[in-house]
Amino acid sequence: MTTATTTTDFQSWSHVHLQRVEATLRRVLPAPDIAPQRLHQALRYAVLEGGKRVRPLLAFAAGELANADPERVALAGAAVELIHAYSLVHDDLPCMDDDVLRRGKPTCHVEYDEPTALLVGDALHSLAFQVLGDYRLADDAKTQLEMVKLLAAAAGSRGMAGGQAIDLESVGKALTVTELEFMHIHKTGAIIRASALLGARCGSGLGQKELGQIDLFAKLIGLAYQVVDDVLDAEGSTATLGKTAGKDAKDNKPTYVSAIGAARARELAQELRQNALGALAGFGERALRLRQIADFIVLRKF
């Protein structure tokens, strides 16, 4: 298969699945004319029209391996994206990264106000779990309960929220690579890992060993995701990123770029990708979509 064919193929696959998750997000978010209207408008503002939707795409790719119903995966992927969107709204608040631009638009607290942005995060967090509870997403109730627990753990103090705590207390410090890895695996990796596992758990086509391989893949590519985010913050432009470039250095945040330099960080992202692809070896051609997402994560410019 030529590169050109693969690219086109991935683009059309992404297009179909992006439309699917977009429609699902629109459906599960409260309508903007339902009271309290302003909060509901802000929820939609924070979630819709923007974002690469990498986490739902990962869920779809892993779901395909498990022969999962794409309607189920769309709901699981939407739940993860709601958690992710909440994490961004809070991450941008003045008490955290104090950012004014997100997904090419004013951040939620700038467009609305700080209390609304705080409540948007609260409400998105709850909505994610409501989605996981409202629909049948797995063949049996036990698996579905495990999915709820998986997302809760990934978002909590031993996952994303914990990673964010480390991020904030590390400002002005020089972290070792081991410490950086721990922070990144938590603040970003945990939700990426949950995305792939939730997608896979929507179907029953995979055994424990295969689920373990997907988990390892997602752990490595989740770390690569934040390494690349660090590089893009240092080397990308605000216009391309849709968020303020150069913010990490300005705020004195320890990143892979400050620790090992941008060139080495890019190499490390490639090494992580290679190792992640290694974890998929047993799946052969069936893991094509996961491999393509791994490529996108490392090669992306935004």
Which residues are near ligand IPE by CB under 6 A? 51-52, 54, 84, 87-88, 91, 97, 99, 103, 160, 164, 187-188, 225-226, 229, 233, 243
- Decide which of Mg ion, ligand IPE, none touches 243; Cβ closer than 5 to 8 Å per partner kind: ligand IPE
Report the C-alpha gap between 118 and 57 in whole angstroms.
27
Q: How far is Cα 151 from Cα 133, in angstroms, rounded to an integer?
A: 12
**Which is closer to ligand IPE, CB of 120 or CB of 138?**
120
Choice between 253 and 291, CB closer to ligand IPE? 253
Q: At 180, list the tokens.
A: 């950086």
**Torsions phi, psi of 118, nearest 5?**
-60, -45
User: Residues 29, 77, 91, 206: which binds Mg ion (CB under 5 A)?
Assistant: 91
Please report how close the Cβ of residue 81 comes to ligand IPE at its closest, in angstroms.
8
Is residue 257 a contact residue for Mg ion (CB under 5 A)? no
Q: Which is nearer to Mg ion, 22 or 229 (CB)?
A: 229
Angle, alpha carbons 151-154-156 (nearest 5°): 105
Give the number of residues written for the chain.
Answer: 302
Which CB atom, from 64 or from 233, has the smaller least distance to ligand IPE? Answer: 233
Among 97, 124, 125, 244, binds Mg ion (CB under 5 A): 97
Q: DSSP state, 34? A: S
81 lies in the site for Mg ion, by CB under 5 A: no
In whole angstroms, the minimum distance from the beta carbon of 56 to ligand IPE comes to 10
- Could you tell me which of 283, 91, 75 has the C-alpha nearest to residue 187? 91
Compute the chain's Rg from CA coordinates. 18
